[in-house]
Every structure is written in structure tokens, then in C-alpha cells.
Amino acid sequence: MKMSGSQVIDAPRDAVWKGLNDPKVLQQCIPGCESIVASSPTQMSAKVVLKIGPVKAAFKGSVTLSDIKAPESYRISGKGEGGFAGFASGGATVKLTATSPSETLMEYDVDAQVGGKIAMLGSRLVDSTAQSLANQFFERFAAVVKQSAAAVPKKPKAKAAKKPAKKPAAKKPVKAKKVAAKAKKKPAKKKR
């Protein structure tokens, strides 16, 4: 099975690249994903529960990133075993192009293979389900990355530093002993 497509994301290319490499972001976006754990910058393990037609299965597998050209492109490949339901393997080549400072075009080419009970469901059902899952992923991914890019505060333009105004020196409090000592030193005026 092969499919390709593109998605415009309202976020800078660096933010999109960061999201594509963040297991927490990927877990939020992959339909049915229960966990993704990174063992290295290019290796992850995942658990995904999917329903394809009448077959529902939990897939455990590995994900590998290769052909990395940060922040422009990479290949993501994976294999998953779904027990009695069968297996799935495949990958996607993802390319990012900055169309403006705040917008990125993400293009992808996906190829996948399935076996076992899933393969017996027929290519039409498997292909339409795969297309639906891909659309869900890219829509969620675009929303999550846009939201996280909007949450990052933009650096304010540097302004000339103002010198703080000098405060008048505060008068020191006079201690009671000093006042009494000064009073003793002054001779009292005699009354006439």
C-alpha cells in the first residue's frame, strides 16, 4: 500500500521539526497510541491499539528515524506485531518546507505492508483505514504543533535600557540615646 499527501501547518519549520521528533507530541497525534518511549534520538518503541474493520488488535513495535537532514527531512520506519491479528510494517518519508516564517508545508510519502488477519480483510478496507488514520494523525499533529508554537512567547524587541531614577537618600533614624546625650550637652537657658 502506498499513499502520499501534504499538510500546511501554521508554525515555523523548526517547531514542526521539533514536534516530529518529540515522543510526547507523537503519542498525542497517532490514533490509538498508548505509549511511545525513546531509547535514543533515532529509536523508539510504541504500543498502538487499532481497529480495522472487525479486527481490533494491540500492536507493539519499534520506530526508527533515518536519512535525517534536520530540520528539512527524514525517513520514519516501523514494524509492529499484533498477535493473532497479524503484523504491519512500513515507513514514511517526511519533507518540511518553510513557506513563510510562520508556516510550513509538510509533505509525506508512505509505504506499508500488512499480514495475517488484517491482510485478509481486503486491500480496499485496509487502504481506506490507513488513509483515514494518516489524515487523523496529520490533522492532530498540525493542531498540536500550532498550539505549542503559539504558546512560546516571542522575544520582545530590544529597547534602550533606561537608567533608574535616583532615590533621595533616606534619613537615618536617630537613636534615643544620641538625642538624650545631645540634650545634656546643651546648657539650659536660664529663666529671668
Containing H/E element for 149? helix 123-151
- Cβ atoms of 63 and 77 within 8 Å: the answer is yes
Residues 137-180 have pLDDT tens digits of 989 999 999 998 888 665 554 554 455 555 555 555 555 555 55
- Out of 53-57, 82-86, 87-91, 97-101, the most confident range is 97-101
Residue of higher predicted confidence among 124 and 108: 108
- Cβ atoms of 114 and 133 within 8 Å: the answer is no
Q: CA torsion sign, 9 to 12 to 14 to 15?
A: negative
2-151, superfamily in CATH?
Answer: START domain (3.30.530.20)
Residues 36-81 have pLDDT tens digits of 999 999 999 999 998 888 888 899 999 999 999 999 999 999 999 9
**Beta-strand (E) ranges in 82-116?**
87-100, 103-115
Q: Domain ranges in the chain? A: 2-151
Round the average pLDDT of the chain to a whole number and report it.
84
> How high is the pLDDT of residue 61?
93
pTM, 2 dp: 0.73
> How high is the pLDDT of residue 125?
85
Distance between the two ends of the chain, CA-based, in angstroms? 121
